[in-house]
A and B are shown apart, each in its own frame.
Chain A
Amino acid sequence: MALGAIVLFGLLAPLALPDPAAQPDLAEGVLQPPSVSAPFGTDELSRDVLARVAAGTRVSLAVAGLAVALSASVGALIGVVAGYRGGIVDALLMRFVDGALAIPRLFLLLLILAAWERMPLAAFVVVIGMTGWFGASRLVRAEVLRLRDADFVRAAEALGAGSGRVMFRHLLPNTFGPLLVAATLAVGDVILLEAGLSFLGLGVRPPTPSWGGMILDGRGVLTVAPWVSIFPGLAIIATVLSVNLLGDALRDAADPRSA
């Protein structure tokens, strides 16, 4: 169910674009309430809110998806190396992770974004991704520690697999289950994070539509035209909810104990 909702959301986004999202559509008029021609109304630049919410879906999902893919990859890499190598390598990497986890991610991001004005969207994705891999690395490391002494790992070593091959061919794929669950749930977090930062004017820059930025746009006209902020807000809620439901479903599917 959750899966269907999220897939539908992603698929419908480009299809539901009746007009250029960022362009003012002067024929509609400014701050029109929801109507047949503009189901979500228009904003103070007479842009169609539905079209912008739809375009924002793609931006928000792309930012969250890419950032989580980046942090899951980096986390998996660090985790598998730390778990398999052990010793001093493990100690150094994990103490770094402990330290990084002690810094609140939002403050870290605020600092970076405040220092780097006019950050391009790609860099924004990288920054979010690189501040989110710490948890994933711990998760993968724990899985690797559990599997490191498994017979099939010993067998692979006995049959001449080098350490790179053992790490990336034998250990890493066996951690994909929990990693996938964690990554899915992280997508929801990152959507919220991105919306929050964009709302503060630090994330995705206008005119690129993003849900957080649209709520910010509507803040000044909240009393006269609440739809400008409400619909992107509903989009955030619906998306994060379905992502989290999907994550829970994946967890149940991956873990036979919680049937």
Chain B
Amino acid sequence: MTTLLDIHDLHVSFPDGDGARVRPVDGVSFSLERGRTLALVGESGCGKSLTSLAILRLVPSPGRIDPGSSIRFGDVDVLALEGEALRRIRGRRIAMIFQDPMTSLNPVFNVGDQITEVMHAHFTITRRDARDAAAELLQEVGIPDPRARLKAYPHQLSGGMRQRVMIAIALAGKPEILIADEPTTALDVTVQAQILEVLDRLRESHGMAVLLITHDLGIVAGRADRVAVMYAGQIVETAPTATLFANPSHPYTQGLFGSVPRLTGPLARLSPIAGNVPPAGRWPTGCRFRTRCPNVHERSETEPPLLRV
């Protein structure tokens, strides 16, 4: 397997108002292989969305990617790209879909315009051909009567349909990597399954790599090849999905599993992890999970955890 995307020691920082900088993403490394799915799992506020935005250099101002970070896409140094070269990566080679399909589509343009816009931005293509390709994409993501739907405006579509449209838009540039940032969080459970199915099918038929960002371990199983668990701006554990599910080693990962309701097995209370992720800038020294960790010991205060990752 060839490594498609390699992120090494990624730091994203924001000024905290007192002259210092806080680092919501603090030394993240992982790599993504061609045609595979990597799941990035963690609670709200752990830095996973910011990590994905950083890959496309979309960290909102005044945040910045700190020097020393490295994002390599094939043989391209993403952090060295500027202007037109950067625009050519976005959507064309790495595409992204967002959490909330209700707000991710431009309300004043119809579906067809929004899909063909991406094609016109990246390819030389006639309007008619783009229109045909857009209808095909809608068909692929499972929208009935795609020709007619090209003329629909976002407000005329349901949430699930809009997320399908978002996926079609993301696919319009024929990307090699699709970043899906909580693609199903805003949707009904039944629709969630359909959307994930669409993503799986398209990954196979288009040979894309998928970076699936989620807080839901339930949708990771059977879908991702590897899982990276993120906590407080760092990746605390990464393993092949089967290994991680069989034997989660970091207490945070164990905690995440304890928080997922099970349909089979003996009835037991859920054991959620107490508290929330502390905000960036107030992360504890040593092991960042120690304030919420069930098996904390003295060394946690001073030393980072030693885990085989």
User: What residues make up the interface of A, taking CB atoms closer than 8 Å to B?
Assistant: 86, 149-152, 154-162, 165, 169-170, 173-174, 176
Contacts and interface: CB of A to CB of B under 8 A. Distances in A.
Given A152-B106, A173-B108, A174-B106, A159 B98 contact: no
B87 A151 contact: no
A196 B92 CA distance: 57
13 contacts: A86-B61, A150-B103, A151-B99, A151-B104, A154-B58, A157-B90, A159-B173, A160-B92, A160-B121, A161-B87, A161-B91, A161-B121, A174-B107
A76 to B, nearest CB: 14
A205 B84 CA distance: 52
B96 A155 contact: yes
A139 B90 CA distance: 31
Nearest to A86: B61
A147 to B, nearest CB: 10
A196 B305 CA distance: 79
Contacts of A160: 87-92, 118, 121-122, 173
B150 interface: no
Nearest to A150: B103
B206 to A, nearest CB: 16
B96 A158 contact: yes
A151 B91 contact: no
A176 B107 CA distance: 12
B87 A162 contact: yes
B95 A151 contact: no
B166 interface: yes
Contacts of B99: 151
B56 interface: yes
Nearest to B55: A158
A161 B86 CA distance: 10
B121 A155 contact: no
10 closest pairs, A vs B, by CB? A160-B91, A159-B91, A160-B90, A151-B103, A158-B96, A151-B104, A152-B106, A173-B108, A155-B104, A160-B121
B91 A169 contact: no
Contacts of B97: 155
Contacts of B225: none
B104 A159 contact: no
Contacts of B100: 151
Nearest to B89: A160
Interface string B64-108: 000000000000000000001001111110011111100111111
B60 interface: yes
